[in-house]
Structure formats: C-alpha cells, structure tokens
Amino acid sequence: MSLKALDYESLNENVKNCQYAVRGELYLRASELQKEGKKIIFTNVGNPHALGQKPLTFPRQVVALCQAPFLLDNPNVGMIFPADAIARAKHYLSLTSGGLGAYSDSRGLPGVRKEVAEFIERRDGYPSDPELIFLTDGASKGVMQILNCIIRDQKDGILVPVPQYPLYSATISLLGGTLVPYYLEETDNWGLDVNNLRQSVAQARSQGITVRAMVIINPGNPTGQCLSEANLREILRFCCDESLVLLGDEVYQQNIYQDEHPFISSKKVLMDMGAPISKEVQLISFHTVSKGYWGECGQRGGYFEMTNIPPRTAEEIYKVASIALSPNVSAQIFMGLMVSPPKPGDISYDQFVRERYVSTLNIHALMKDQDLRTSMENFINSKGILESLRRRARIMTDGFNSCKNVVCNFTEGAMYSFPQIKLPSKAIQAAKQAGKVPDVFYCLKLLEATGISTVPGSGFGQKEGVFHLRTTILPAEEEMPEIMGSFKKFNDEFMSQYGDNFGYSRM
Amino acid sequence: MSLKALDYESLNENVKNCQYAVRGELYLRASELQKEGKKIIFTNVGNPHALGQKPLTFPRQVVALCQAPFLLDNPNVGMIFPADAIARAKHYLSLTSGGLGAYSDSRGLPGVRKEVAEFIERRDGYPSDPELIFLTDGASKGVMQILNCIIRDQKDGILVPVPQYPLYSATISLLGGTLVPYYLEETDNWGLDVNNLRQSVAQARSQGITVRAMVIINPGNPTGQCLSEANLREILRFCCDESLVLLGDEVYQQNIYQDEHPFISSKKVLMDMGAPISKEVQLISFHTVSKGYWGECGQRGGYFEMTNIPPRTAEEIYKVASIALSPNVSAQIFMGLMVSPPKPGDISYDQFVRERYVSTLNIHALMKDQDLRTSMENFINSKGILESLRRRARIMTDGFNSCKNVVCNFTEGAMYSFPQIKLPSKAIQAAKQAGKVPDVFYCLKLLEATGISTVPGSGFGQKEGVFHLRTTILPAEEEMPEIMGSFKKFNDEFMSQYGDNFGYSRM
C-alpha cells in the first residue's frame, strides 16, 4: 500500500517539527483527568473567563445588540439595554456594510481602525494612521501573517527571547525558518542585555543565517518583566544598526502589577528617539482583546500597527489577509469598544468602571487615572478588594520562594509566574528512564497529585540544565493559599522521594 | 542603506507570487469609486448580508443571549426573547467553559462538534465521529490548515479545477507548492472528465511533481454546476488508485437551484462504495456558516470532517490548530445552530421557516422537505416569492446569453454566474496597450461605466485565449432587470467601440 499525503510519515516536516507546549502533553493529560472526574485547576493558559472572571457588561450589551439588530426596533428594548449601549450598537452597525453577517474589508472595518488609531495617539502622543492598522482574529494570527512575509527559508533567522511564548517557536518552525535565541537574565529579573543580542546575531551569522527580525514580548510572557525605556531605546538602536524588523508583542500592556516599571510602547520610544532612527526602524506592534481586564479570549480579536513599512509591503500583507476574506466582525467591535470605552458622564460609565475594577488586572492604570480613583474610592473602601491581583502575584511568588529548591522573580506584568525548580539528579534520572524531559516529568507528577495544570519551562526555552514551570496568576484570590499549599506539599514529597546528595540542576 | 526584511524587494517570494483576484484590482478600483460617491453593485464576492439579505432571527437571538448571559437573569428578558431562544442560549453556554469570552478547545467546543456529527449522520446516513471534526474560523482557514500539512515543497502538486475559487491557487502559492490544473468542460456544463484528470497527473509526474491531493468544489465556484453521483464515484476511484487525498469543498451544499442535479456529499458516495475503497480514500470535507440561507460570512464559522485520516495525523492537525488557540466561539455557536435549527413544535419554528424561505437560496431543499412545504404553502401562495433565486439565476443567464458575444451556462448551484465573453482582437490589443489582461480590461470598463463590480475570469483560471467574468446572483430580484439591462448596454457599446472583422477570442 503506497503512502498517502495525510499519513503521518508523509506530512510536511515543518508541521511535525513544531512544538506548542501550552496545549501539549500536560494539557492533554489534564483534559483526560478532567474527563475521569478529577478537579483540575487550569493555569496552563491565560484564559481568565474560564477561571471565573465575568465579562464587562457594556461591551457585551453593545455586541449583543449588534448581533440582534432587530431588537433596536423593539419598543421594550430600553427595559433591558441602557441608552448608551443602544447608541453604540447603532454606531458600530453604521460602520459595517450589512451588520455582523457581512465580510468586512480584509484589514477590518475602516471605522474601527480609525478608533484604534485614535487610541494609539492618546496612548503615545504621536499620530497613528488607520491605513497602517490591520484588525486580526486575535494577536496570534497577526504575528503569523507578519512572520510569513519575513521568513523565506531556513536561512532566515528571527531573534526570539528565551524563555519565550511558544507561538514564536511554533510559527517559525511551521514556516521553515530558524529561531535565533537570545537569553533573558533570570538573576537580573529577566532583563535583556544588548550584548547578548549582539552575540546571538554574530553566532547566527557565522552559521550562515540572515537575521531578519527580532521579537520582544513586553510585558514578558512567561517571564512577567516590564522593559524599561532605556532598554527599549537600546533595542531600537540595535534593530536600526542591524536592519532588523522589530515585532513588539504588547498584548499584556494593560496587565501591570507595580508602579516602578510602567508599560511604555515601542512605538512611543521609537518616536521619542526622533529622526533618523524614528524613520528607519520597521516596527510591527501587536495588541488584543484577550488580555487586560477584558480577557475576551474566545472572541478572537486583535490588531497590529505598522510603522515605517513601505506601502507596497502593506499591499502585500493586505493581499494575503484577503485570502481568508476578513477577521470576524463581532471581535472587531470588541476591539472598537476596548479602545473607546464609556466616558465619564455616560450612563454606563459607573458600572463599567466598577466592573473594570473588579475584574481588573490593570491596577497600575487605575492608580494613575485620577477620574477612576475618585469614582472608585467608595467602592474600593467598601469592598476591600484593592490590589487583589497584585496580592495574587505576591502570594504566588512568595509561595514558590518558600520552597528551598524553588526561586521565582516577582510578576511585574502579564499574567504569569515562572519559577525555577531545582531538580535533584535522582529526579532527572527518573525522568530519563520514563522518557520525559525533567520538567515535563515534574509537571506531570504535580498534575496527577494536585490537579494543578501548568506548562513545563522547556516549552518556552530555558538555559541548558535549568528547569521551570509556568502558571498563570489568575485563580481566585481566596483559592490561592490552598493552591500554593497544595503545591508546597507536593514539592516536599517530590523532594523527599527524589532528593539526594548528588547535586541539583544548576541555578 | 541596506534592505530590511519588510522592504518589498526582500519579502518572502511566495507571498508576492500569490494572487487573490476576488479582492484584487477590480475590488480596489470599485472601493475607490465608491469613496468618490459612485453607486457600486458589489457582485465580486458572495456576501449576501452586504447585498441586503436579512439575518435569520432565531440564531441571532441565541447568540445575542450568549454574548449577554446576564440577560438570562433579567426578569424582562421574556418580553424580547422567545423561550426557545433562551433555552438554546443556556444550552450553548453550558457547552463552554466560561462563555464566549473563554478560549475553547482548539478543535472547537466538543458539544458543538457532536451536533455537527449528528447533522452529517442525518445527511448521509453514515456515522460521523466528533473527534474527527474540527471547527474553524470559516472554511478558508480549514482549507489552509490542511494544505499546510500536505504541501512540503514545490515538488508537491495539488490538483485544482480550472476555473477554481482562488483560495486554492493563492494558498498553494503561499505554501510554496505547485498547482496542477485540470480543466472543467464549459461546453459540457462544466463537467469533469476523469480522462482529463489522468492526463493532468501524467503530465505533472513527467515534470517531477508528486501529486498529493485533489480539490473538488461542489457545487462549483465560480462555475455553478453540481457533480453527479456517477462523477463523484469516478473521482473517488481515481483518488484511491492514485493515492490522492480528496479535499471536498462543499460550502455551497445548501445552494441548489434545480432538481435534476441534487447535492450529494463526497462522504456519502465514498461510504456507499463500500470496502475496500471506503476505508482507503483520505477525504476532508469542508462546510461553513457563510453560505446557504444563513450567509453569516462576517461571523467566520466553518468545520472540516476527516475520513480515513490516521490518529497521529489528526493529532498533528490539532497541534497546529493550537498555535492560534481556538476558533472564535460565537461562530461555533452559529455552526451548532445551523446544524440543529428549530424543530416543528418549537416556538420559533414558524418564524424560522418563513425567514429561511424569504432569504433562502436553497429552493431545492425546500421542495424536498414535506414539513417545510406544508407549513410554507400559505405563505408561499400569499407572497408569491417562490423561486426568487431560481428566477434570479435564470434572469442572469438569459441576460448574458442575449448578448451575441456572451455564452453562459445556467447556475445549478452555489451563488455565481460565470459567462464567457468573446472579446474582439481590437479589444485584446487595447488591453495589451493598457498593460492589462483582456478580461481585467473589460471588467474595469464595465465597472467604470455601470458600477457593476465583477471578478475577471483570469482570477479563477481559464483556457488560453478564453475570457470570462464572475458575478454573484445575489442582487435583489427587482433590481436584476436593470442590472442586466445596464450590462447589455455597456457590452453593446464596448462591442461597437472595439468590434472588428479580425476575429474573436475562441469559444
């Protein structure tokens, strides 16, 4: 019997080579255990609504009305929808050419792209052109589109931080390119040293690789750090010197848990640097409705903004986007709503602010926004939930650090904690015998013992002989102590089973 | 100044090489004219809601409630939503793990995949396994995923009909594979001759191409024919003999405008053929919520079903789907609703049937379904809109055939009319001088003169020296005579300007 194209042996090797650990072996095993009736705490993926976060009411009202536009003619509609949601639904419907059931332009609705440009202008203080903003089915799809334009063959390299979010490694594999790693310094709070970058590029070039682009994830995933303005300047200067496209993954820009290191966009820093550099560096910045206090992952909405990209290239990206016709229209409206939320004085403003506060992961923005602070004061005082997420990040970091074989940097931003687990050589040996990577072995044991579903550090990349796991900080605050207690109990038992005097994996 | 990765000259050549005519030069020019205030009739893409088709109420009610689940607790909800829509919304929310804002499994919600499997079982009379059904952001994304698994390099060939829907040519270019054309016979109502297939495969092999898969589009796009059962058997036998994966693009399965050639699924024919063939041929079938009487293009919902695909391959496809996390969840619910619409006795059933009838493109299914016929009788008689779409297909075909230099097969299914335009040599000459392909030249002139936005046949492929255009049959019936009159007037003027005695393009 001859081999067929969809027999495993015969598949595109790039497909087989790509790894995507966030939904890999650990996730599959967790799903099995859940089917068998075990209670699983899914901390493998930043999926806030799945962990109990409630959607914001106002945007959901607007999109519900857009889905059911006939309600706008119903005399009772005012009994269950506020007037400003009704007005907004009419506004967004007027931007479509046939409601949510019609394909939009392949770049997204022009009216929404205009709202995104206005948001970027307010955020950065520099003009933004709607023609250079493309809406996408989530940020991941945008990243994939851009990498597809950049990667020509295996000789093309993309600089990616290690550890990294495996979207990058998986997509580069899928497209047949080469990942050029640059290491973040765990002992320096996951800082980025430009000398490391230079070394990585020099080494890649000595192997015949053309380094074409550099990825930064800011705030970091899985590492949780916020890049400083000085660091961003160094990176941009480096990209300029080396003619690299900078891909700025800024999907966690609203998820900041401290005040010392605020989020600053790559676009703003680039513009601040002035000509010639501000006119030279090709920058693509990505954002999403899936993170922040929205957490609307399942809607699949995102955008990218292009800076210093030639018009003919933008046309090519447009053409490729056209093949799949258009991003889904309801998520485009979520994006519009995210970048132009209710304003003070709007009927829904107070409720929006209250809910944003409850579900917020964005304590930092709240602290800076005097409007919000004032209107939230009573609520904050009465409910006492101030800084719940900061506290969760803190409980988790402290919990990990209370185990003598675990070290963990504090989560400054994003949604993740990324502790290093020092594994005894006996455990590494046992993992080898079981045919598992050591951190996969550890995470599987953790899952079986406690139901906590994490992602092994090897899925993100780590230095040789060093092991981590990634967990989200999203479980409810009241469940945190129990979860961390359960982790510590497991880890102690693991260490008493495998601990030995023969040494540990290195820090 | 050195070249940067996103400079046009430096882009991935596969990106630059791909063509997507449906939103190509004609569409861009039409958009410009629209901005300048000209009335444009967009018949370039099957986008029914953009041309005035109203969405079905019941599914929109259900999805609106899923978007705004807090309405389910509102005591007034029953005043604007019927009880069965409320019950269905609760049902679908119970299938999610956090509502529409949570990522689903990367293959889609298990509960919806089960409903799709039940639909396929009812349609074909054979079992269908939900584990082998993947939900996608529209059918196009599914096609792209599967072709990505199949195409390894430029030596891998995919058999594609000519004319074809350019999703296939564009995706094959993008993935760096080779399109192996097989020609449909215009003079035989766009029939498919298996001898042509054999010739195409033999020729490709002689050039060192490994033919890996075959695409059929049934009903045809842009050609509008329905494949007969006998023809499908021949195709399946051919795929079995040649070890080809069959990709069955069946997105127009509800769009049938005559009774002689009903739609029959590839899966059913394969199963009818029995072992060994029914256990041998690797088949992927695609469907969508964008077509039929739903026309929910902007929601981006689709599925594919895999038959005879090894589990390890299914795992690889699952892994690649995971990179973009999950298809959008609200479109998954539209898919669930499409495959399990209201039943007789449900509160919303009569309204659903009435609306389905009004917006239906699926006259054939209606005629066969005794339930529907009975419940529709009065409505049909009173409104007299029976067979509006059949009539539109007829008006269009007749209108084209009334021009002496145009010939056009009747649209049996799908949404398109694909007339051949015989162009005089003087017009071909003028096109050459303007640097345009002759049918692009003709379609641009048509657009400028009448506002009718079509797609040139060259975007779909056609035999050397033969020219077509594609238009949808979707404009409102009452506007059809005017549109066709306007076409005829333009064509007459074009012919009097360019007509000559030196001959025509060949038929």
Q: Which DSSP string do the residues of A390-447 spell out, in sequence order? A: HHHHHHHHHHHHTSTTEE-----BSSEE--EE--BHHHHHHHHHTT--HHHHHHHHHH
> Where in the sequence is the domain holding A141, given as residue range(s)?
103-339
In sequence order, the 6+-apart residues with CB closer than 8 A to the CB of A391 are: A477
* B437 and B480 share one domain: yes
Same domain (yes/no): A376, A395? no
Residue A10, CA atoms < 13 Å, CB-side half-sphere:
19
Residue A147: its chain B contacts at CB < 8 A? none
- Rg of chain B over Cα atoms, rounded to whole angstroms, equals 23
- Tell if the CB–CB gap between A137 and B18 is shorter than 8 Å: no
Note whether residue B291 is domain-resident.
Answer: yes
Whether residues B443 and B321 fall in one domain: no
pLDDT average, residue stretch A188-204? 92
Chain B CB contacts of A324 under 8 Å are 137-138, 140-141, 144
Rounded CA gap, A131 and A149, in Å? 18
Instruction: Give bridge partners of residue B208 from the DSSP assignment.
Output: none
Burial class (CB in 10 A: 0-12, 13-18, 19+), A266: buried
**Encoding tokens for residue B459?**
């975007």
List C-alpha distances in Å: A185 to A189, A223, A305, A469: 7, 10, 29, 16
B116 or B41, which is more confident: B116
Considering only CB atoms, A8 lies closest to which of B60, B312, B319, namely: B312
Cα separation, A139 vs B324, whole angstroms: 9
CB contact under 8 A, B325 and A244: no
| A503, pLDDT greater than 70 | no
CATH number of the CATH domain containing A267:
3.40.640.10
The answer on A148 and A295 residing in a single domain is: yes
Average pLDDT of the residues in B129-148: 96
**What is the CATH number for A71?**
1.10.287
Segments in A158-265 forming alpha helices (H): 167-174, 194-206, 229-241
Are B88 and B110 contained in the same domain?
no
DSSP at A55: P
Contacts of A97 (CB under 8 A, 6+ apart): A104, B50
A325: left (phi over 0), alpha (psi -120 to 50) or beta: left
Mean pLDDT to the nearest integer, A11-36? 84
CA distance A251 to A287: 5
Contact across the interface for B328 and A8, Cβ inside 8 Å = no
- Does residue A2 have a pLDDT over 80? no
pLDDT classification of B366: cutoffs 50, 70, 90: very low
Q: Residue A91: what residue type? A: H
Rounded to whole angstroms, what are the CA distances from A210 to A200, A202, B4, B10, B382?
Answer: 12, 10, 11, 12, 71
d(CA B310, CA B282): 9
Task: Provide the 10 A C-beta neighbour count for residue A449.
Answer: 15
Q: What is the pLDDT of residue A385?
A: 34
> What chain B residue is nearest to A58 in terms of C-alpha separation?
B68
Residues whose CB is less than 8 angstroms from the CB of residue B12 and which lie 6 or more positions away in sequence, other chains included: A148, A149, A150, A151, A152
Long-range contact set of residues A199-208: C-beta below 8 Å, sequence gap at least 24? A200/A159, A201/A159, A201/A242, A204/A157, A204/A178, A204/A180, A208/A155
Radius of gyration of chain A (CA): 23
Lowest mean pLDDT among A404-413, A416-425, B322-331: A404-413
Query: What span, in angstroms and rounded, lies between the C-alpha atoms of B407 and B404?
Result: 8
Q: Would you say residue B125 has pLDDT above 90?
A: yes
User: Does pLDDT of B80 surpass 80?
Assistant: yes
Same domain, A85 and A36: no
> Which of A158, A190, A155, A186 minimizes the C-alpha distance to A172?
A158
Is position B350 within any domain? no
What's the CA gap between B243 and B238, in Å, rounded?
Answer: 8
| pTM of structure | 0.89
The highest-confidence range among A450-454, B155-159, B378-382, by mean pLDDT, is: B155-159
Give B311 to chain A, closest Cα distance, Å.
Answer: 9
Q: How far is B46 from chain A (nearest CA, A)?
A: 9
Quick check: is A354 in a domain? Answer: no
Assess if residue A504 is contained within a domain.
no
Phi–psi pair at A132, nearest 5 degrees: -105, 15
CA distance A497 to A501: 12
- Which residues does chain A have within 8 Å of residue B44's beta carbon, measured at their own beta carbons? none
Domain membership flag for residue A346: no
Higher pLDDT, residue A404 or A27: A404
pLDDT in tens, B185-224: 888 888 889 999 999 999 999 999 999 999 999 998 888 8
Chain B residue nearest residue A296, CA to CA: B101
Residue A361: pLDDT over 50: no
Q: What mean pLDDT do residues B181-185 have?
A: 92
* CA–CA gap between residue A419 and residue A466 (Å, rounded): 11
Yes or no, beta carbons of B322 and A22 under 8 Å apart: yes
Q: How far apart (Å, rounded) are the C-alpha atoms in residues A374 and B470?
A: 60
Residue B274 dihedral angles phi and psi, to the nearest 5°: 70, 175
Q: What is the mean pLDDT of chain A?
A: 88
Q: What's the total number of domains in chain A?
A: 4
Give the pair of three-digit tokens for residue A432. 């080898």
A364 in the same domain as A251 = no
Quick one: pLDDT band at residue B359, thresholds 50, 70, 90? low
Nearest alpha carbon to residue B264 among B314, B230, B296, B222: B230
Mean pLDDT (whole number) for B39-58: 82
Mean pLDDT calculated for residue range A69-97 = 95
Q: Give the integer Cα–Cα distance in Å for A84 and A404.
A: 54
pLDDT reading at B167 higher than 50: yes
Residue B5 and residue A244: Cβ atoms within 8 Å? Answer: yes
Distance CA(A435)–CA(A265), nearest Å, equals 43
Residues A380 and A391 in one domain: no
Least Cα separation, residue A456 to chain B (angstroms): 17
| Phi, psi (rounded to 5 degrees) for A377 | -50, -55
Q: Which of A461, A438, A378, A442 has the alpha carbon at shortest distance from A186?
A: A461
In a domain, B149, yes or no: yes
Residue by residue, what is the 3-state secondary structure of B70-85?
Answer: HHHHCCCHHHHCCHHH
Classified as helix, coil or strand, A292 is coil
The pLDDT of residue B380 is 39
- pLDDT tens column, A260-286: 888 999 999 999 999 999 999 999 999
What integer best gives the mean pLDDT of chain B?
88
- What is the CATH number for B469? 3.90.1150.10
Nearest to B298 among A51, A101, A310 (CB): A101
Average pLDDT rounded to a whole number, residues A199-216: 96
pLDDT at residue A501 tops 60: no
Q: What percent of chain A has pLDDT over 70?
A: 91
Using an 8 Å CB-CB cutoff, list chain B residues near A17: none
Same domain, A210 and A180: yes
**Which of A12, A95, A169 is the best mutation test for B, with the most CBs of B within 10 A?**
A12
Name which residue leads in pLDDT, A507 or A350: A350
Burial B405-422 (b: 16+ CB within 10 A, else e): bbbbbbbbbbbbbbbbbb
SS3 B270: helix
The tens digit of pLDDT for each residue in A28-78 reads 888 888 889 888 887 777 788 887 778 999 999 999 999 999 999 999 999
What is the Cα–Cα distance from B143 to B15, expressed in whole angstroms?
Answer: 17
B298:A80 CB<8 A: no
Identify which of A499, A427, A433, A434 has the alpha carbon closest to the alpha carbon of residue A467. Answer: A427
Q: Tokens in use for A192?
A: 């980025």
Amino acid at A14: N
* Residue B374, pLDDT above cutoff 50: no
Q: Is residue A3 part of a domain?
A: no
Tell me if B506 is assigned to some domain. no
The pLDDT value given to residue A28: 83
Judge if A144 and A290 occupy the same domain: yes
**What pLDDT is recorded for position A92?**
98
Indicate yes or no: CB of A15 within 8 angstroms of CB of B282.
no
What is the torsion angle, in degrees rounded to the nearest 10, for the CA atoms of residue A480, residue A481, residue A482 and residue A488? Answer: 110
Given this model, what pLDDT does residue A394 score? 86
For residue A425, the distance in angstroms to the closest alpha carbon of chain B comes to: 31
- Both ends of chain A: CA-CA distance in Å? 52
Nearest to B183 by CA among B156, B159, B207, B154: B159
| Residue labelled with tokens 């919990």 | A399
Straight-line distance from the first to the last Cα atom of chain B, in angstroms, rounded to the nearest whole number = 52
Cis preceding-peptide flag for A438 (omega within 30 of 0)? no
Give A-chain residues touching B151 at CB under 8 angstroms: 12
Interface predicted TM-score (ipTM) of this complex, two decimals: 0.88
Residues B420 and B406 in one domain: yes
Cβ-Cβ pairs closer than 8 A, A with B, add up to 304
Same domain? B258 vs B407: no
Q: Do residues A139 and A286 lie in contact, with contact meaning Cβ atoms separated by under 8 Å?
A: yes
Pairing of strands B210-217, B245-249: parallel
Q: Which of A6, A51, A313 sits opposite B6 (nearest CB)?
A: A313
B317, B131 Cβ separation under 8 angstroms: no
CA dihedral in degrees (B148, A24, A465, A434; nearest 10)? -120
pLDDT score of A506 more than 70: no
Residue pLDDT, tens place only, B226-273: 999 999 999 999 999 999 999 999 999 887 777 788 899 999 999 999
